[in-house]
Structure 1
Amino acid sequence: MTALPDWMHPPRPEGWVADDLDRLPHAPRHTELIDGALVFMMSPQRWWHGEIVDDLTFALKKQAPAGIKVGREMTIRLDERNRPEPDVLVTTAPFAPDRTWFAPEEVQLVVEVVSPESAHRDRTVKLHKYAKAGIPNYWCIEEESGAPVVHVYELDGPTGRYAPAGIFRSVLKRPVPFDIELDLDALVPGK
């Protein structure tokens, strides 16, 4: 086994912190920080995943009102030791070309498209962390017989936890974070 490159060694005994991600020029694309540990997308991305992310991003951008931006592959600095990278996010932050992360209060919706290697993190770890950070809306998109199924959660203010707000197949209509109507079947490659 070969030695790890120097950049992969944590700079302090307690691990990495959120600001370290901006100083890792050799880190693979899609590097996240979860509980002070670097998480890399190690398995190849599936075409289904990429198409869902691309088409969803485009569809949300078309429907977003003024003052709302839709982005992808940007991290959210939840706290000092957590900076996950959702597949898609909706933000109220103004565009800044050199920006590398968002604060939770700038994010209205996070979307994770579940992959086999990210399933546990997307369904449990991130669900808990995004809620704790106060992000109002979370969507977890699963594949069911080749079609996307969207599990929608809204933040319950009094408990600080996500409450299920529906499971959507074929069509998704939501009033938050803005009026959204999506033909989910149109997001499927080849349909």
Structure 2
Amino acid sequence: MSASYLANWASELRAQAATPSLSAEATARLLVAHLLDEGCSEKFVHRWLTYHSQHDSTTYTLADLVDLLTARMSQPSTATEVLVPLAAEVTLPRPLPPGWLTTQQARHWRAANIPDSTPTRQHGALLLTVTAHDIYAAADLVRDRVSAMMNKFSFGARKELLVGSDHRRVGRDRRTPDRPW
């Protein structure tokens, strides 16, 4: 059903262009709810719609926008690798669990994966891979994972896991979209 949901909406919007059966608000709510249910982030939906309605030189009908969304959503989700530096040293068991990098490994990862990266002070890092439709949803998933790890450390080990705010994704010498942990 989800694969054809947006395409069905586009067809319905074209068929009922003169006399719509639902209000514009109800239509918008149903479409946005579907996008959020499919894993898109609120920020992506807002930015995508804002770009196409205010900055793109093409004039779109709502059905045209839904066609564009159908094409966008038919693309597979992409895996995004994000490096989250640790702001304080953490004692970990040896060998290191998957995704945990020593200070030296984190420095090498940054040099290999982020062009023109500048050195940062860190005490190791978490290397997380998430799959999402957009970078904002990926950042939300990373935040959720880091928050869960912080809680495990706090309650399980009675230690604090401090992460830095300078998390980066592969190929970008720019921070990933951020909200406080």
> What TM-score results when the alignment is normalised by the length of structure 1?
0.25
> What TM-score results when the alignment is normalised by the length of structure 2?
0.26
Question: Which structure has the greater CA radius of gyration?
Answer: 2
User: RCO (CA 8 Å, sep 6+): is it higher in 1 or 2?
Assistant: 2
Q: Which has the larger strand fraction?
A: 1
Q: Which has the larger helix fraction?
A: 2
